Homo-oligomer: A and B are copies of this chain.
């Protein structure tokens, strides 16, 4: 029997009082319960992303070995992306840009987060273009959080039950893609997976 899928979660912001942290904690809890997935939560605040360097061709991958080792071992990735001015937070991009070939032929699921009524729909569209260049195959079943500041109760529990079904749908497709691509990496030769 195949080992569990390893799918880390990246919280895509360092903003003070970031609301997306609630989404990250909630999703980490849900994914942890999934029988086929092993996960781990990554926070750019705890990564080494100095203000005088960025991008994948520099020494940053050597400074972030925990992140790098996770992505090397990963079958996929979940990115929690709040929408800042219709784009992604700088800290999210800095974290993604640290690596390159480590992502290739793995899957990614995108989680959009908004204070307003668009559920991060626009940041997701921009990320679709970025993660493709990283070699990640993005799923087409996103998760959107609208009015995130009102979404959770004081214990971090969603106020509406409907979200659990949406999380299930999101993970179902992510697992399908992760297993499919794992089979490809294990069985079909590629210059990108050696």
Contact = CB atoms under 8 A, between A and B. Distances in A.
Contacts of A129: 86-87, 122, 125-126, 128-129
- Among A16, A45, A179, A187, the one with the most B-chain Cβ atoms within 10 Å of its Cβ is A16
A122 B84 CA distance: 15
A94 interface: yes
A46 B94 CA distance: 18
A190 interface: yes
A15 B96 contact: no
Interface in A79-98: 84-97
A70 interface: no
A188 interface: yes
A164 interface: no
Contacts of A13: 54-55
A53 B118 contact: no
A91 to B, nearest CB: 6
B130 A140 contact: no
A118 B129 CA distance: 15
A90 B91 contact: yes
A105 B172 CA distance: 14
Contact of A97 (B55, B84, B176): B84
A100 B84 CA distance: 11
A137 B173 CA distance: 12
Interface of A: 13-17, 44-45, 49-56, 58-59, 84-97, 100, 104-105, 117-119, 121-122, 125-126, 128-130, 132-135, 137-138, 140, 172-173, 176-177, 179-181, 183-184, 187-188, 190-191
